[in-house]
Amino acid sequence: MFIGLCTIELLIDEADSLKDKRRLLKSLMERVKSLYNVSVAEIDQQDVWRRSTLAFTCVANEKKHVFRVLQSAVAFFEKQRRSQVIDYRIEII
């Protein structure tokens, strides 16, 4: 069994308040959960309007599959116009 963890830092240009940020993040997190079957949570920068750090995880029998799922989830965030990926890191245990 392999466990993959990806942390991703986002810049959210559209957010003019914490309420805007949370609304946008909720939408993005729900979509990435349903598309890639990952668990996702905001883990840092909760009180900063235009930045967020998210973590998402995947568990599978094959290391290659875990990496593909996490890489696809990162690509999903990179394609979004509402946010911009600043940095990300993938770890597989």
> Where do runs of H (alpha helix) occur along the chain?
18-36, 63-79
45: left (phi over 0), alpha (psi -120 to 50) or beta: left
CATH number, domain at 10? 3.30.70.1120
pTM, two decimal places: 0.88
Q: How confident is the prediction for the chain on average, in pLDDT? A: 94
Q: Over the stretch 20-54, which tens digit does the pLDDT of each residue have?
A: 999 999 999 999 999 999 999 999 998 888 999 99
Tell me what the mean pLDDT of segment 51-72 comes to.
96
Total count of domains within the chain: 1
Q: Which domain holds residue 49?
A: 2-92
CB crowding 2-32: b at 16 or more within 10 Å, else e: eebbbebbbebeebeeeeebeebbeebbeeb
